Amino acid sequence: MGAPAHTARSVPVGFKMPDGFKSLIAFSKRPAIQLWERDVKPPGIDGGEPINITTMHNVAWRTFFPKSLKTLDAMTFVAGYDPDVIADLLAMVNLNQSFTFFWPSGDYIDFWATMTKFEPGEMKEGEFPTATVTISPTNLDTETNPASPVESAPVYHAAAGT
């Protein structure tokens, strides 16, 4: 029975984002879509709950094992919009395509996904009209061979010079 190793914390190196400005999302089917990002939540990464492998042979602790697969979580953003965008959104809801999320550092991630929701906020006098958009990763390349889509992992790109 091995004990876990003690690890000292090292000083991190790299770019510590001091501000969330400027975070953007690009739709491959409509790169100049009439949406103006205001609040952006990037996609998260989820390994899922560990698998409980506890048996009657355990003595004092429940034991768990990590799952093999990962999930790229949905991302959302709040944006101003031009009402003319509704026709594009109607055509793109549930349409699998490539998306690119840009961090303020210049780093970006490309991933296959679909826009699953466009939810306009309340329209009020004296307030900026916005909508919340949900992008749900599919990790499925449907363009290379539409008859037989394939699993395709997200691809992270570091900013030039980092």
Calpha distance 133→136 (Å, rounded):
10
Residue (of 82, 52, 56) closest to 67 by Cα position: 52
pLDDT higher than 60, residue 158:
yes
Sign of CA dihedral 117, 77, 28, 109: negative
32-41 per-position pLDDT tens digit: 999 999 999 9
Q: What is the pLDDT of residue 94?
A: 97
Q: What is the pLDDT of residues 53-96, one digit of tens each?
A: 999 999 999 999 999 999 999 999 999 999 999 999 999 999 99
* Average pLDDT of span 126-148: 96
Query: Residue 162: pLDDT above 70?
Result: no
- For the cut 90, the answer to whether the pLDDT of residue 2 exceeds it is no
Which pLDDT band, with edges at 50, 70 and 90, does 160 fall under?
A: confident
Q: What is the mean pLDDT of residues 45-58?
A: 98
Query: Above pLDDT 70, what percent of the chain?
Result: 98
Is the pLDDT score of 161 beyond 80? Answer: no
The domain ranges of the chain are: 24-157
Gap between the Cα atoms of 12 and 36, Å rounded: 33
Nearest by Cα to 30 from 99, 110, 120: 99
Contact between residue 99 and residue 109 where contact means Cβ atoms under 8 Å apart:
no
Confidence of residue 103 (pLDDT cuts 50, 70, 90): very high
- For residue 63, which phi and psi values (nearest 5 degrees)? -115, 150
CATH tag, 24-157: 2.40.30
Which residue, 30, 37, 23, 39, is CA-closest to 103?
23
Task: Give residue 1's pLDDT.
Answer: 64
Q: Band of the pLDDT at 15, cuts 50, 70, 90?
A: confident
